[in-house]
Amino acid sequence: MTRMQQVLDLSREMGVIRAKDVEQKGIHREYLKRLEQQGLLIRSARGVYTFTDADITERHTLVEAVQRVPNGIVCLLSALSFHNLTTQVPFEVWLTIPQKTRAPKENLLPLRIVRMSGQALESGIEEHEIEGVRVRVYSPAKTVVDCFKFRNKIGLDVALEALRECLRSKRCTVDSLWQYAKICRMQNVMRPYLEALG
């Protein structure tokens, strides 16, 4: 089996493949570029390629984003969309990364990076498998609290819509919202809205 065929088989199996994945198999990343030039792979981000005939879902950009930023956690508008808690359709993938981590320079894949640290970063993470890739996404309750924390970036109306929809659809409880509000220091901001809805 040729090296190009090995890369093709690997990309067919994985759907989204990183240059790092190819190099771990002892194959030079140059083969990815050659397959892209032949139209058999699509370069979707720096060092990230998609098999042209891959079964792509509507959540494919989340897979590409976490392949590009392995320590990233899907957050805010992208997490709301993932959990079906908003009418917003984000054109960027919103990712949280640790406070002191360098943000990726990306031209192909539209990313919106948010930084957090400590418990605010580490709590409320769920793992989901999308197209065979492990994707970390904040839970509905944590996402709603984050929307209030970053209301200046996404808008208070989006945070309120998410809060109402999350409670209406029973995707979270007031207690779980309050728990994350304490972790993210959002009790004073969220108290009037929780009291009005409760």
Task: Name which residue leads in pLDDT, 16 or 96.
Answer: 96
Mean pLDDT in the chain? 90
pLDDT value, residue 14: 78
Instruction: Reply yes or no on whether the pLDDT at 198 is more than 70.
Output: no
Q: What is the pLDDT of residues 133-178, one digit of tens each?
A: 899 999 999 999 999 999 999 999 999 999 999 999 999 999 999 9
Cite the DSSP H helix spans in 90-173. Answer: 118-122, 140-149, 151-154, 156-168
Mean pLDDT (whole number) for 93-117? 89
Strands (E), 13-110: 16-18, 41-45, 48-51, 73-74, 93-98
User: Which structure tokens are listed for 128?
Assistant: 């989901």
pLDDT at 57: 66
Which is more confident, 102 or 183?
Answer: 183
Q: Are 85 and 60 in contact (CB under 8 A)?
A: no
Q: What is the pLDDT of residues 34-68, one digit of tens each?
A: 888 888 888 887 788 887 776 666 788 898 899 88
What percentage of the chain carries pLDDT values higher than 90? Answer: 53
Q: Where are the domains of the chain?
A: 3-51, 60-197
The whole-number pLDDT of residue 11 equals: 83
